[in-house]
Amino acid sequence: MKLIAGNSNLPLAQAISGYLEIPLTEANVRRFADEEIFVEVLENVRGEDVFVIQSTSYPANDNLMELLIMVDALKRASARRITAVLPYFGYARQDRKPGPRTPISAKLVANLVTKAGADRVLSVDLHAGQIQGFFDIPTDNLFAAPVMSADVKSRYMGKDWMVVSPDVGGVVRARALAKRLDNAPLAIVDKRRERAGESEVMNIIGDVSGRFCILIDDIVDSAGTLCNAAAALKEAGAEDVVAYCTHGVLSGGAVSRVESSVLKELIITDSIGNHAVIADSPHIRHLTIAPLIAEAIRRIADESSVSSLFD
């Protein structure tokens, strides 16, 4: 098989390459003067099983176009099978019509990836499970919960854990982590969002008094929801609050918001290549999901079970 990477997250791609002991395929991915993207694959890929590693994170549209053009180049170079490896699938939050005359952009992007020539998709913690059905090709959705639970056990063993979902929609994700943490108890933050980008905590469902609370979410963008939830948990008597999120979008003043909050620590994975954004922050830490993605890639190439990774 062959591994090829765009420019969105080269450190993660190199870590996956190192784990599999397969060098990244040489490719020229550059811009013309007017910012048009040009891709040239510099190695023979005819008949190969090719995995394209590219998150569609900021700048989302540039990285998405890179992915589509790379897939098209590989298709025209007669690759046998092309798997789009999307550690972070952008546009995932637009998975339904929230009002009249609005798009379902996640479905549109799924169509674009399929029409470009991808034969299958591999992603991590999709914002909504139904997005798998937006693709008309096989789609594997990996979960970062095993990586997170291992980190919790190595760093916070002996604490009186309580897993907390920052909203009602994330209960399934929180329950999955709680199960891995020796069936830790579960609490839910009930919030009401007054307008886009802002959230107001209303109530805590569950007794968090004296507990070491572990907030779990898939995406942290402005960090407003997490910081408000952490403040509410502390007010309800929580001993300490840490947050685990798969995708650290961290837009705008998110980093400073986290640093000035009551959160003890925010832990994100390296699905998005924003290492420079958090390099100087003592309150934000990275976990790598490179071994998880690499093992899934190996199993897809070998035609063996991917789901058994989470048994």
Is 140 labelled as part of a ligand binding site? no
pLDDT at residue 264, as a whole number:
95
Does the annotation list 235 as a binding residue?
no
pLDDT band with cut points at 50, 70 and 90 for residue 169: confident
As a whole number of angstroms, the distance between CA 120 and CA 25 comes to 19
Respond yes or no on whether the N-terminal peptide bond of residue 166 is cis (omega within 30° of 0): no
pLDDT tens string 171-219: 999 999 999 999 999 999 987 666 655 556 568 999 999 999 999 999 9
Percent of the chain with pLDDT over 70: 96
Q: Which are the contacts of 280, defined by CB distance < 8 A and separation ≥ 6?
A: none
Could you tell me the domains of the chain?
2-142 (3.40.50.2020), 145-287 (3.40.50.2020)
Residue 193: per-residue pLDDT: 60
- What global pTM score does this model have? 0.93
Residue 25, annotated as binding a ligand: no
CA dihedral 42, 276, 145, 90 (to 10 degrees): -60
> Does 122 have pLDDT greater than 60?
yes
Residue 288: what are its φ and ψ, rounded to 5°? -90, 140
- Identify the band that residue 285 occupies on the pLDDT scale cut at 50, 70 and 90: very high
Which residues are catalytically annotated? 191
What span, in angstroms and rounded, lies between the C-alpha atoms of 297 and 187? 35
pLDDT of 81-105, one tens digit each? Answer: 999 999 999 999 999 998 999 999 9
Pick the closest to residue 229 from 180, 268, 187 (CA basis).
Answer: 187
217 among annotated binding-site residues: yes
Residue 264, φ and ψ in degrees, nearest 5: -70, -35
Overall average pLDDT of the 32-44 stretch? 95
